[in-house]
């Protein structure tokens, strides 16, 4: 297993290769974006238990078709996730900085039409994360914890890939919302990667166990490298895939 710095160096080489190919033809950009939106939405919702298949996700998003036998909530989760991707793309375009409001806005889109009362609002109750050792903080300290997170984010000097991974990890540790923390965290991770000029990544449904275990290690033991490396590997694969596609 290569160390984290080697991994980042390899990714930055791939990033330079990709940057040299820019600007890409607009039809190629659209094709890659359409593919990414379906894949990212399918996997991010799937990690949380959404039962739409990849092809069902595609027809819901691209054709607006309702799938028989699937919950309305599952359709809304797909549609909202696509909207949230558009929102973070706009944030990247406008080069706005990440704030607590950005995070609340992402979350509000995720739960739109699903849970109006809690969409974009920090939780007012204590929560447990099933299957995790870590217990998130009391609702009384959420504002302070989130302010601390944004403060850390603005000041940290770690590599941008590590920063994006840690932003995700620290956010999930705080668990500021009743529901939708995972999807919000993965959107936040990609928002930060994209702001730094990297591609967004897709953490896959079949990596769910590895993903949860890596996060729990960072939350309970302050061992951050498993999750940081998972993000790095995922980014490396995505960049290689795109570069091969562009050959």
Feature table: binding site for ATP = 179-186, 211-212
Q: Which of 43, 159, 175, 219 is catalytic?
A: 175
What is the Cα Rg of the chain in Å?
18
For residue 175, indicate whether it is catalytic. Answer: yes
SS3 90: helix
SS3 134: coil
Helices (DSSP H) in 113-158: which residue ranges?
142-155
Task: Give backbone dihedrals phi and psi of 3, rounded to 5 degrees, phi first.
Answer: -75, 170
- Distance, CA of 193 to CA of 190 (rounded, Å): 5
- Distance, CA of 191 to CA of 188 (rounded, Å): 5
120, 105 Cβ separation under 8 angstroms: yes
Active site residues: 175
């Amino acid at each position: 297993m290569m160390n984290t710095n080697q991994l980042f160096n390899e990714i930055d080489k791939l990033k330079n290769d990709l940057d040299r190919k820019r600007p890409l033809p607009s039809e190629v950009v659209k094709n890659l974006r359409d593919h990414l939106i379906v894949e990212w939405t399918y996997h991010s919702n799937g990690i949380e238990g959404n039962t739409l298949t990849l092809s069902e996700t595609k027809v819901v998003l691209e054709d607006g078709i309702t799938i028989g036998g699937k919950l309305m909530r599952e359709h809304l989760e797909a549609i909202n996730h696509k909207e949230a991707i558009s929102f973070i793309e706009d944030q990247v375009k406008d080069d706005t900085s990440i704030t607590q409001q950005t995070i609340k806005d992402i979350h509000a889109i995720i739960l739109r039409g699903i849970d109006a009362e809690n969409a974009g609002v920090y939780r007012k109750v204590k929560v447990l994360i099933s299957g995790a050792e870590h217990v998130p903080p009391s609702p009384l300290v959420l504002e302070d914890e989130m302010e601390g997170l944004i403060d850390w984010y603005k000041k940290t000097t770690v590599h941008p890939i590590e920063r994006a991974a840690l932003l995700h990890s620290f956010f999930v540790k705080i668990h500021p919302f009743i529901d939708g923390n995972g999807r919000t965290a993965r959107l936040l991770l990609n928002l930060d990667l994209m702001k730094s000029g990297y591609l967004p990544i897709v953490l896959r449904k079949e990596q769910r166990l590895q993903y949860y275990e890596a996060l729990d290690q960072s939350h309970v033991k302050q061992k951050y490298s498993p999750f940081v490396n998972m993000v790095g590997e995922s980014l490396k694969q995505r960049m290689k895939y795109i570069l091969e596609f562009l050959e």
